[in-house]
Structure formats: C-alpha cells, structure tokens
C-alpha cells in the first residue's frame, strides 16, 4: 500500500476518500521521485482505471511517465516528512529563512528612510565589523541577539550584546524603541551601535528521574533550559555540543532526539517496548547503539 505521510500535492481517491487513506489496490502502481531535496511518493490506481476514466488507453510505462507531468486526475502524490537528523536540519533552515525574510522587510523599510526603522551597526569587542542589523518599534534584546547570532554564525546562547554607551549586557526583555523619537536617538548614537561578546560555554546535558532533560552551563552551575519529554526516568543521554543536538533513552522504551538550541524534541523512536539502560551515539554516521533491559543490543538509524 501507499500512504500520505504529509499533506502535499494530491488528488482524491475514487469515491471521495480523504488524503491519508491507506490504498490497497492490487492493480495500483507506486513510484518514488525527488522534489528538490526531498523524496516524493506517488500512487496511482493503475492503467485499467485511468483508461476507463479518460479513454486514453495508456500503457503502464506511459502511465508512469505521465506522473512526471502530473496529468492524471486519479493519482496521489505526497512528500515524505523529514525524519531524525534531516528533520532537525530542515527545522533550523526553515527558522533561518523566516528570520531572513523578516530582516529583509525591515532592511527595505530602513533603505526607504522609514522613520520607525534603523540599521544598527554591529562589531566585536575587538573592533571587527560584523555588519548591520535592522531594528524597529518593539524590537527586543532577544530579537537582536537572534539576528546577530545569525549574522556572526555562532550559537545564539553564546551571544551577549552591549549597546553603545552602556557597560552591561542588553537584557532579552528590553524593548529598544517604542516611538519615532527613540528610533531617531538610536540612529544618532555613536557607532558601533552594538558590540557583540561571544561567551563560549561548557555544557552538560542531563536527564532526570521525572523524565525531564536539561541543558546546563557547567562553568556557572546554571541551568539554561529544560523540557519534559519522557513519561518515565531518563536512563541515558548522549550529546554533540558542537552541532547542538542530543539523544536520550528512557524507561518508557523510547529514544528522543533533541535540538539543544531550544531544548525541543525533534524525533521520538518507539520501535522497542522496554527499558534503555545505556546508549552510545556515533554522530558522524548517525547511528545509535542501545543496551536494553532484556540483555539485547539494538542499533538505530537516527
């Protein structure tokens, strides 16, 4: 059978069955192609059905080729949802594209001389210019930190910003400007408007008996983030701090892949019902080896 893993470009099954319905037609044809960088599955009820419908009398080979042009009325195509590491990368790229679009809109307004938008110059404490970031009414310290992290290509958690004329880091909740006069004052401030300080951290990724996982700053003994994910005790964890990703195994029989940028669960692997006692991860090959409570070893393609 074929299935619709994620809503994509699709038709309906005869009789109006909704997308996502499992197809079990002995005369059906299935195929796999590529749309950009993602796999795209297609389903068709077969040459006999389409011949009855259109009178075209297509052969199976003609029917398969026609899917490249998506001319057949009774067909279903679906894009396979990214899984595991691929999904983590896809989510980060989507978030980055969204940030870039917002920055472009603000930059265009600043270029037109919008009184409510200003371009802020950014430099390192050593004086190296990084570029500019736009800011408008309601822009917060957190917004600026995300923009500067993307500009400098460093983890957002490791970025601290210092406004011109100040000595303390800019708090995330601070609103830079709420009126045109305040925007004008920012525009006239001495350059660089922002100085970036990168605070490199040593991290600890830990799991608790409550099923919670957390990220800690080891040098400052400070918890940076935490998330509830497992329903039982977390027995084992692994982390790749350079790529900001983690893996946890639990007594609830699941492995979870985490994005350590925001401590969010990207993927849950559930193919085993039992306890994980330990896990070892090869981040290069994306394979995880788990030790299970029944004495077995399991290898996972993450």
Confidence (pLDDT) at 25: 44
Are 260 and 245 in contact by the 8 Å Cβ rule? The answer is yes
Q: What is the DSSP string of 21-57?
A: PPP--TT-EEEEEEETTEEEEEEE--HHHHHHHH---
CA angle 248, 249, 254 (to 5 degrees): 115
The string over 264-274, giving b where at least 16 C-beta atoms fall within 10 Å of a residue's C-beta and e elsewhere, is: ebbbebeebee
Q: What share of the chain is helix, strand, coil (3-state, %, to 5)?
A: 20, 35, 40
Q: Could you tell me the strand order of the sheet in which 117-124 lies? A: 129-136, 117-124, 194-198, 159-163
Mind listing the domains of the chain with CATH numbers?
186-301 (2.130.10.10)
Task: Give the pLDDT of residue 87.
Answer: 85
Q: The pTM is what?
A: 0.67
Distances (CA, A) of 237 to 74, 205, 220, 233: 47, 7, 21, 12
Whole-number pLDDT of residue 73: 43
User: Quick one: DSSP state of residue 157?
Assistant: G
C-alpha pair distances (Å), 220 with each of 204, 224, 269: 11, 10, 33
- pLDDT at site 297: 86
One digit per residue, pLDDT tens: the chain, 302 residues? 333 333 333 333 333 333 333 334 444 544 555 444 445 445 555 555 555 444 455 555 665 566 555 544 444 444 455 678 888 888 888 888 888 888 888 888 888 888 889 889 999 988 889 999 998 888 999 999 999 998 898 888 899 999 988 888 999 999 988 888 888 888 888 887 899 999 888 999 999 999 999 999 998 899 999 999 899 999 999 999 989 999 999 988 889 999 999 899 999 887 666 688 899 999 999 999 988 888 888 888 88
Q: For position 292, what pLDDT does the model report?
A: 86
Half-sphere exposure of 107 (CA within 13 A, CB side): 11
Pseudo-torsion of CA 111, 112, 113, 117, nearest 10°?
-70
Q: What is the pLDDT of residue 31?
A: 53
Query: CA 154, 100, 225 angle in degrees (round to 5)?
Result: 45
Per the DSSP assignment, residues forming a β-bridge with 182 are none
CA atoms of 86 and 109, how far apart (whole Å): 35
Q: Give 286-294 contacts, CB < 8 A, sequence gap 24+.
A: 286/84, 286/85, 288/238, 288/247, 288/255, 290/249, 290/255
Give me the pLDDT at residue 6, please.
Answer: 36
């Amino acid at each position: 059978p074929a299935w619709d893993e994620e809503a994509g470009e699709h038709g309906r099954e005869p009789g109006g069955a909704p997308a996502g319905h499992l197809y079990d037609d002995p005369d059906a044809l299935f195929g796999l192609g590529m749309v950009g960088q993602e796999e795209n599955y297609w389903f068709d009820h077969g040459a006999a059905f389409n011949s009855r419908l259109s009178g075209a009398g297509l052969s199976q080979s003609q029917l398969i080729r026609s899917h490249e042009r998506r001319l057949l009325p009774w067909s279903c195509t679906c894009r396979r949802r990214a899984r595991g590491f691929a999904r983590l990368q896809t989510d980060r790229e989507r978030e980055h594209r969204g940030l870039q679009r917002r920055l472009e809109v603000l930059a265009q307004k600043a270029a037109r001389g919008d009184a409510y938008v200003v371009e802020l110059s950014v430099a390192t404490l050593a004086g190296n210019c990084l570029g500019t970031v736009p800011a408008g009414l309601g822009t917060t310290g957190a917004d600026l930190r995300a923009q500067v992290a993307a500009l400098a290509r460093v983890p957002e958690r490791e970025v601290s910003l210092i406004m011109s004329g100040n000595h303390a880091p800019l708090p995330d909740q601070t609103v830079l400007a709420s009126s045109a006069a305040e925007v004008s004052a920012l525009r006239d401030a001495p350059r660089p408007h922002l100085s970036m300080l990168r605070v490199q951290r040593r991290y600890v990724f830990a799991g608790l008996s409550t099923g919670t996982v957390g990220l800690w700053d080891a040098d400052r003994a400070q918890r940076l983030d935490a998330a509830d994910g497992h329903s039982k005790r977390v027995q084992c964890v692994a982390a790749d701090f350079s790529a900001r990703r983690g893996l946890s195994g639990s007594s609830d029989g699941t492995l979870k892949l985490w994005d350590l940028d925001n401590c969010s669960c990207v993927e849950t692997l559930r193919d085993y019902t039992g306890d994980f006692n330990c896990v070892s991860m090869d981040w290069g090959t994306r394979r995880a080896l788990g030790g299970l409570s029944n004495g077995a070893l399991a290898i996972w393609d993450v």
